[in-house]
Every structure is written in structure tokens, then in C-alpha cells.
């Protein structure tokens, strides 16, 4: 069986040939029906639809697995944090900064970090200036209302609906 591209091309060539001759519409329909190309095209569409449904199903399975693994990862991270905090609390309770065992060495590392309490009170010298960013929603509304927006256009996309 021919692929969808070849079938589409053959169908179009047949239509072009029939349009170039002055035939009645019934003759055109009979010619298309006798070639069986409609059935072949429909069979291809049927096969494509089945493959698309299978891929959508596979995608849902993978998404569910990603969600399950993400939850599992979060559980591991929470357990790690809880165990680390238990060790830190225990070391603080016994008054030690370092504990050495036959397999591990534990020590508490003190780090410093900055917490921003009120960003509006910070001096300009410590602020990063962000470049302006286009507001695509506002641009779309302007163009659709008939205004010209230099440097922007609206593009149109097609999508296939399968039910």
C-alpha cells in the first residue's frame, strides 16, 4: 500500500487531470471511485488515527510515571532533610561540632546568607536592572483592534482535531 504522501499526490493529480478536461461531475466521481483511491486514503487516515491514539495513551502513561517519580523524589528529599536536622539537633544537644565514627565524619558547617526584609529600602547600587520584556497579550489585543504595532505581527497556526 502506498504511503499517505503518495496517495495525496495521486489524488491531487487525478483531480487536476479531471479538471482540465470538460467532463461532467458524475464522470469525475465515477473515475475517482473506480481507482479506489478514496478507500486507500481513508484507510491511511484510519491508521494514522490509531497511531495518534496510541501515542496519546503512551504520553499519558509517561506523564503519570513522571508524577509518581516526582512524588517519590520529594519523599526522599524530605526524609534526607529530616535525618540531617535530627543529626544537627543531636550534635547541638550534646555540644559537639564534630563527630567521627568508623565510617563517617559529621560536622556542622555554618554558612551566612542574605534575607531581604524590605526590597524597597535597598540602595540602587545593589539592585539588578532587568531589561524590558514585550507584553504579547497587549500586543495581540492592539493588532486585533486594528492598530499597527511596529515590530510585531500575528501568526496563524493550524491544528488537527481528532474525536
**What pLDDT, on the 0 to 100 scale, is given for residue 124?**
86
How far apart (Å, rounded) are the C-alpha atoms in residues 54 and 7? 23
Q: pTM of the prediction?
A: 0.54
pLDDT in tens, the chain (163 residues): 678 777 777 777 766 766 666 666 666 666 666 667 777 778 888 888 888 899 899 999 999 999 999 999 999 999 999 999 999 999 999 999 899 999 999 998 888 888 899 999 988 889 988 898 999 999 999 999 999 999 999 888 876 666 6
149 is a domain residue: no
**Structural domain harbouring 66:** 56-107
Give the number of domains in the chain: 1
Q: Are β-strands 98-100 and 105-107 bridged in parallel, bridged antiparallel, or unpaired?
A: antiparallel
60 is a domain residue: yes
160 is a domain residue: no
27 is a domain residue: no
DSSP codes joined into one string, 24-74: -HHHHHHHHHHHTHHHHHHHHHHHHHHHHHHHHHHHHHHHHHHHHHHHHHH
Q: Scan for cell 499519558, then name that residue.
A: 60
48 is a domain residue: no
Amino acid at each position: 500500500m502506498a504511503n499517505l504522501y503518495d496517495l495525496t499526490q495521486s489524488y491531487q493529480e487525478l483531480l487536476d487531470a479531471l479538471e482540465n478536461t470538460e467532463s461532467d461531475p458524475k464522470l469525475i466521481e465515477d473515475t475517482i471511485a473506480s481507482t479506489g483511491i478514496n478507500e486507500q486514503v481513508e484507510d491511511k487516515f484510519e491508521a494514522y488515527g490509531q497511531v495518534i491514539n496510541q501515542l496519546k495513551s503512551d504520553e499519558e502513561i509517561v506523564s503519570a510515571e513522571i508524577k509518581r517519580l516526582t512524588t517519590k523524589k520529594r519523599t526522599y528529599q524530605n526524609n534526607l532533610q529530616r535525618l540531617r536536622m535530627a543529626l544537627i539537633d543531636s550534635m547541638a544537644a550534646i555540644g559537639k561540632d564534630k563527630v567521627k565514627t568508623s565510617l563517617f565524619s559529621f560536622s556542622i558547617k555554618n554558612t551566612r546568607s542574605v534575607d531581604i526584609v524590605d526590597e524597597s529600602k535597598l540602595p540602587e547600587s545593589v539592585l539588578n536592572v532587568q531589561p524590558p520584556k514585550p507584553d504579547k497579550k497587549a500586543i495581540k489585543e492592539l493588532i486585533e483592534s486594528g492598530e499597527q504595532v511596529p515590530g510585531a505581527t500575528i501568526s496563524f497556526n493550524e491544528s488537527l482535531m481528532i474525536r
